[in-house]
Amino acid sequence: MTEPLSPMRVVVASTNPVKIRATYSGFHDMLPARAVSVEGVATSSPVPAQPHGDLETLRGAEIRAANAREISPEADAWVGIEGGVSDADGRMAAFAWVVVLSPRVAGRARTGTFTLPEPVARLVRGGLELGEADDRVFGRTNSKQGAGAVGLLTGGVIDREALYRHAVALALIPFANPALYRETEDDTPQRGEAGVKR
């Protein structure tokens, strides 16, 4: 009779409960045979508080996951979730990147994308983070630790946790299919400096 595996310890590069819950759900969905414990840590990044563009947002997620690994090197996996916006043809869209690292493999996935209303986009172009812009337009407080822009705009059909949960699951595809994915070399950025984001 085989011994049960010890719980997989996962560290998320955020103290935001939405990101922690989404990470737990994604791991539970994709790796159901393994018990998992998830905790959050505050990390820093040289990426702006509101990343613009696909590459900057992905870089933010990679750096945050790498920073979580440096803070808690004894964990089994580290997760970075970074929300970003892109602005083209007068329309601003919102999305996020998820990066999951382990000692042997890395996974990356992007969430779905949705268009922001112009009153929100205008505030973001003016320098606000998306969460603060949402709070001002919708009259909320700390919506980024709740439904987020996507939850406010869909009436709760898809909230921020659900948006992230699917991307966490997609980022775990290499973990669930190890025979199909080669072991990855550590190609993540080094620990970044700058402000702490939750």
In a domain, 137, yes or no: no
Q: Note whether residue 189 is domain-resident.
A: no
CATH number (domain holding residue 100): 3.90.950.10
CA distances from 151 to 14, 99, 120, 136, 155 (A): 20, 22, 14, 15, 6
The pLDDT of residue 192 is above 50: no
| Number of structural domains found in the chain | 1
Residue 143, pLDDT score: 81
115-154 pLDDT, tens digit each: 999 999 999 999 999 999 999 999 988 888 888 999 999 9
- Report yes or no on 125 lying in a domain: no
Is 123 within a domain? no
For position 113, what pLDDT does the model report? 97
In a domain, 191, yes or no: no
Within 13 Å and on the Cβ side, how many CA atoms surround 181?
16
Type of residue found at 116: L
Domain that holds residue 67: 8-114+158-184
> How far apart, in whole angstroms, are the C-alpha atoms of residue 10 and residue 69?
10
Report the chain's mean pLDDT, rounded to a whole number: 90
What band does 183 get if pLDDT is binned at 50, 70 and 90?
low
DSSP letters along 22-57, please? HHHHHHHHH-TTS-EEEEE--EE-SS-SS-BSHHHH
- Note the pLDDT tens digit of each residue in 84-104: 999 988 899 999 999 999 999
Name the pTM for this structure.
0.88
Query: Is 142 a member of any domain?
Result: no
Is 197 among the domain residues?
no
Q: Are 40 and 15 in contact (CB under 8 A)?
A: yes
